[in-house]
Amino acid sequence: MTRLFGSGKLIDSEIHDVESVATVYSLLARLWICEVDEPVLKGLSEEPLVSALEKVGLAFPTDSVEQLAIEYCRLFIGPKNALLPMQSVWQKTQLESQSASSVAKFAGLIGYELPAPALWDHLGVQLDLMSHFVLATHSHENKDIDRDVACEVANSFFERHLNWASPLLLATSQRACSPLYRSLAEVTQQFLKIERVMRSPASL
């Protein structure tokens, strides 16, 4: 059983759609990693992303690029009271290297490289890496890949590095002024909850 998206809500389906799950991980990752720029804003207004936004319930940005940048900085960068979207901050209350090193080791298994100047334990990086793991579990390009092992690695990564974000997402949804970032937090929360259920031992 896999996940599809319809009627503005995430739903379960018997139809296998790995690419849809990977695409949602990738889209959420891009919005968390850094502020929205002109190319991204343009892409969000065109197909296929405009339909994807509607299906997952993510609010289309109505603010200007400058307003979105200010909101992103206020929420996630600072200079004060920022909701730093890093695993170590929310689990250890400070930046430290253990979780980042763990993510980097997982990334090395599939040759993944950082998509932007960011720390390895940044939520956006973790979401983006998970999108690659999802695709790797059903890759037809390399027949030497053991899919059972790939699934085990993906589930292990999720358990270690995507089970921490609920407090951050709740705080973001409460503090955000922009509909985009409020809905981003809510959709990410909902999506990860469904993924957590789907990746639990009882569902495998």
Q: What is the pLDDT of residues 149-191, one digit of tens each?
A: 888 899 999 999 999 999 999 999 999 999 999 999 999 999 9
Q: Could you tell me which residue, 12 or 62, shows the higher pLDDT?
A: 62
What is the pLDDT, as a whole number, of residue 12? 41
Residue 13 exposure: Cα atoms within 13 Å on the Cβ side? 13
Q: Which CATH architecture has domain 2-203?
A: Orthogonal Bundle (1.10)
Token output for 10: 């995430």
DSSP conformational letter for 95 = -
Token output for 151: 């699934």
Q: Of 96, 94, 121, 95, nearest to 107 (Cα)? A: 121
Determine what percent of the chain is predicted with pLDDT higher than 90: 50
Kindly tell me if the per-residue pLDDT of 140 is higher than 70: no
Segments in the chain forming alpha helices (H)? 18-33, 38-44, 49-56, 65-76, 87-92, 97-109, 123-136, 147-161, 166-175, 179-198
CA dist., res. 55 & res. 183, Å (int): 13
Q: Could you tell me which residue, 115 or 29, shows the higher pLDDT?
A: 29
Q: Could you tell me which residue, 2 or 198, shows the higher pLDDT?
A: 198
Q: What is the pLDDT of residues 49-93, one digit of tens each?
A: 777 777 778 888 889 999 999 999 999 998 889 999 999 999 876
For the chain, which residues make up each domain, given as ranges? 2-203
What is the pLDDT, as a whole number, of residue 139? 65
pTM as predicted: 0.85
Torsion sign across C-alpha atoms 166, 180, 177, 119: positive
